[in-house]
Structure 1
Amino acid sequence: MARPAVSARRLLNDLDGLAAIGGRPDGGVDRVAGSAEDLRARRWLAERMRARGLVPRTDDTRNVFGHTPNAAGHRLLVGSHTDTVPAGGRLDGAYGVIAALEVLTTLHEHGHPAADALEIVSFWDEEGVQPESSGGMVGSTALCEDPHLAEITGFVELHIEQGPRMELAGQELCVVDGIVGVDRHLIRTVGEPNHAGTTPFPLRRDAGRAMTRAAAAAHDLVQSISDALVGNIGSFTLDPGAPNVIPGAAQMVLELRSPHEDDLTRCAELVLERTRAIAAEEGCSVEHRILSRKPVVAFDESMRTLLEKVCRGTGRPTGALYSYAGHDAGVMSAHVPTAMVFVPSTRGVSHSPDEHTPDQLLTQGAQVLLEAVITHHDHH
């Protein structure tokens, strides 16, 4: 049977239609999970499915699923999420959902047998923006504890890269090897608060100075270990935080990401060692605890091989990389064979109204997803 082709016009129109829900004047999108816009987008998605002869279903967690009227018992799941960060872009998550809808629609229209063995999903609250959200991936985590999981044979997520590596390498498609591990460390220096005007420098036990020196050293240490390791200090506090009080305590949260667990361990050890040495010079002590640890995720080898074959079959420049951002696929991979495909992000910009991928590459990615669904069906 000849491979059906996705409709570029319908795909791009649907992306426009979804982007209009919570759309901002600057081209960005405000569709935070649980907001009126987010709920409207879920209803819009279900209506779109119904209009195409598909069967939508919303579960108790507010995940939106879709399948054909004659869906088989066991199905391959494809999709992503439609919620955004505040002032987010129009493609993060949304592209994977709309491409999944386009693939299912196309296969159903053509009466292709793979259509009945396919299910699409828009997961609830992937971004985890709300303080009570427990860090995102809420819908995929809930699905992994749902009896419906037993009917799912695998999961494929199509997504924008959200970084600059593909564009810099001239790649149009990338099969994702896995998702980096993410460790977060709370590091605290403790000294002695005192009057900033009356206390001479030699008599100070300045926890703030110790922590700023340690933070500066941390960035250099991260970069010295491996090109694959990245780190960030995005949370930094001084106590009591007054201009005329020498800080008696200070703390920072160091986040580390790498596809190699030993990079993460080694880096944390080096940063703590350096921080303790600096703190000793400043007359301060150091406290440390691990806030969270997400292990490295490796995607399913046979699924990756299948996607590599399909991507190479396009004749377009194809590569492989690790995702440095978290995705629903990371949650799903612990339960079913899972894989991801990336398309490039212009200038590597994401979580921003300037998020962009050329239309032709968006269409090509959706066609690759369709080919992957058919190939998976033929293999099973």
Structure 2
Amino acid sequence: MSNQVRTTTRPAGDTVHAERLLGDLDTLASFGGRPDGGVDRVAGSAADREARAWLARRIEHAGLHAYTDKIGNVFGRTHAGPGPWLLVGSHTDTVPAGGRLDGALGVLAALEALRTLHESGHPAADLIEIVSFWDEEGASPDSPGGLIGSTALCASEHIRQISGYLELHIEQGPRLENSGLELAAVDGIVGIDRYRIEVCGAANHAGTTPMDARSDAARGAARVLAGVRAVALGLDPGMVANVGCLELRPGSPNVIPGAATMVVEFRAGGEESLAGAGAELGALVTRIVGEERCTATIERISHKPVTRFDPHLCDLVEAACSRTSPLTVRLMSYAGHDASVLSGHVPTGMLFVPSTGGISHAPQESTPDRLLVQGCQALYNTIADHYHALS
């Protein structure tokens, strides 16, 4: 515990240490670092274990208490912290050939914010706990699907000692940069629906079957694929859709495909938009396979509901971001985060900084240093404002 006297008034002009934050980001990127600037730090790998050990040492070096729970989440807090704690953090694992900021910024900005609070004697320090969640990405072959550490925390007794959750993250998209904005208060995460569609036709010789006599599953599937974009944009200009999996069988150049299977994904900020997309997709499939002399089945294989963060905490985040930079907006996240898991248990909020070129999950992932530091400062300001709102 620090020997500094903790006051009940807010210290004036507290700012995070830019060089310390940026230096920590550089060091963390060296664990699993690639020659192209990317990072291979999949959960459970040697690089991941080394990075978690380094993070625990870094927390202890700051005069804080570090510990790791049984699932692998790394925590840090002051020695005097009585709880309940406002949890702040993200994850440090990456996808293969990932970037140096996804998750890492949120963890190290949380550490920097807590260090600054602790060093200045701010009373909020004793009510903050930071975390690096285990296996957010779910990128290893034996992972059950990601968000592992945050899910385990929410199923543990420790969640009873958590009063809320904040997460700083890169946007992983182009909206902030394209609009000339610097910060975002995130008020939720889009819902995600996935559908498996199987189109059945008749396999036959590709050279001897006339074009007008075919029941071509590939052509039917291709027409459905081409129509998915119109389904999404026709219902909700903010909706996005994707067909990332397509299989043709039997898969020979000289055989007309007798079956085609695809997976269609819709992401939207409203449940009504997702439901409408499912209905429109079903109608599209029915019409097209009829015209192509095929049949089809369509099944919704997963549904992640729209996540809405705590309104009061979102207002606090937005106010702190606006005070840090006037170039602030409020928006939803189109990518999943540990915050989506925590939001079902405690008040939750998120902050975004821009991603250069909208690139993420790739070695080219980057954000200007100035905006990384500014994001950390906005996180610090949110934490301090949260403390004083409760005082």
Measured against the shorter chain, the TM-score band is over 0.9
The one of 233, 237, 243 aligned to 2:243:
233
Other structure's SS at 2:47 match? helix
The one-letter code sitting in structure 2 at the alignment partner of 1:15 is L
Matches within 5 A, 1:165-184: 165-184=175-194
Superposition TM-score, scaled by structure 2 size: 0.95
Other structure's SS at 2:98 match? coil
Matches within 5 A, 1:128-277: 128-277=138-287
The one-letter code sitting in structure 2 at the alignment partner of 1:341 is L
Q: Deviations over 1:238-287 (max 9, x none)?
A: 11111121111101100000001111111221122111111111111110
The one of 95, 119, 127 aligned to 1:117:
127
User: C-alpha separation between the residues in 1 aligned to 2:24 and 2:81?
Assistant: 23
Task: Say if 1:56 and 1:65, in contact at 8 Å, map to a contact too.
Answer: yes
Q: Deviations over 1:281-315 (max 9, x none)?
A: 11111101111100000110010011111112224
User: C-alpha separation between the residues in 1 aligned to 2:235 and 2:33?
Assistant: 42
The one of 315, 337, 346 aligned to 2:356:
346
Q: Deviations over 1:3-60 (max 9, x none)?
A: 4211000000000000011111111111011111011110010010111111111111
The one of 118, 122, 126 aligned to 2:136:
126
Q: Which moved more, 1:223-232 or 1:72-81?
A: 223-232
Other structure's SS at 2:75 match? strand
The one-letter code sitting in structure 2 at the alignment partner of 1:126 is E
Shift of 1:224: 2.2
Other structure's SS at 2:247 match? strand
Task: Say if 1:307 and 1:372, in contact at 8 Å, map to a contact too.
Answer: yes
Other structure's SS at 2:298 match? strand
The one-letter code sitting in structure 2 at the alignment partner of 1:255 is E
Task: Say if 1:196 and 1:246, in contact at 8 Å, map to a contact too.
Answer: yes
User: C-alpha separation between the residues in 2 aligned to 1:315 and 1:277?
Assistant: 51
The one-letter code sitting in structure 2 at the alignment partner of 1:34 is G
The one of 96, 99, 102 aligned to 2:112:
102
Task: Say if 1:3 and 1:371, in contact at 8 Å, map to a contact too.
Answer: no
Q: Which residue of 2 aligns with 1:66?
A: 76
User: C-alpha separation between the residues in 1 aligned to 2:333 and 2:222?
Assistant: 30
Task: Say if 1:166 and 1:344, in contact at 8 Å, map to a contact too.
Answer: yes
* CA RMSD, 1 decimal: 1.1
Are positions 1:26 and 2:58 aligned together?
Answer: no
User: C-alpha separation between the residues in 2 aligned to 1:99 and 1:159?
Assistant: 9
Q: Which residue of 2 aligns with 1:4?
A: 14
User: C-alpha separation between the residues in 2 aligned to 1:289 and 1:95?
Assistant: 38
The count of residues paired between Structure 1 and Structure 2 equals 380
The one of 88, 100, 111 aligned to 1:90:
100
Shift of 1:202: 2.8
Q: Which moved more, 1:147-156 or 1:305-314?
A: 305-314
Other structure's SS at 1:133 match? coil
Q: Which residue of 2 aligns with 1:364?
A: 374
Going from structure 1 to structure 2, the CA distance change for 1:171 and 1:359 (only over 3 Å counts) comes to same
User: C-alpha separation between the residues in 2 aligned to 1:347 and 1:93?
Assistant: 18
Q: Deviations over 1:103-148 (max 9, x none)?
A: 1111111221111100000001111112432321111011000100
Shift of 1:180: 0.3
User: C-alpha separation between the residues in 1 aligned to 2:150 and 2:81?
Assistant: 21
Task: Say if 2:73 and 2:132, in contact at 8 Å, map to a contact too.
Answer: yes
Are positions 1:81 and 2:97 aligned together?
Answer: no
User: C-alpha separation between the residues in 2 aligned to 1:134 and 1:241?
Assistant: 30
User: C-alpha separation between the residues in 2 aligned to 1:319 and 1:32?
Assistant: 32
Shift of 1:149: 0.3
Shift of 1:183: 0.5
Q: Which residue of 1 aligns with 2:8?
A: none
Matches within 5 A, 1:282-361: 282-361=292-371
The one-letter code sitting in structure 2 at the alignment partner of 1:121 is V
Q: Deviations over 1:309-361 (max 9, x none)?
A: 11122243110111000000011000000000001111111111111111111
Q: Which moved more, 1:258-267 or 1:86-95?
A: 258-267
User: C-alpha separation between the residues in 2 aligned to 1:8 and 1:200?
Assistant: 69
Task: Say if 2:182 and 2:325, in contact at 8 Å, map to a contact too.
Answer: no
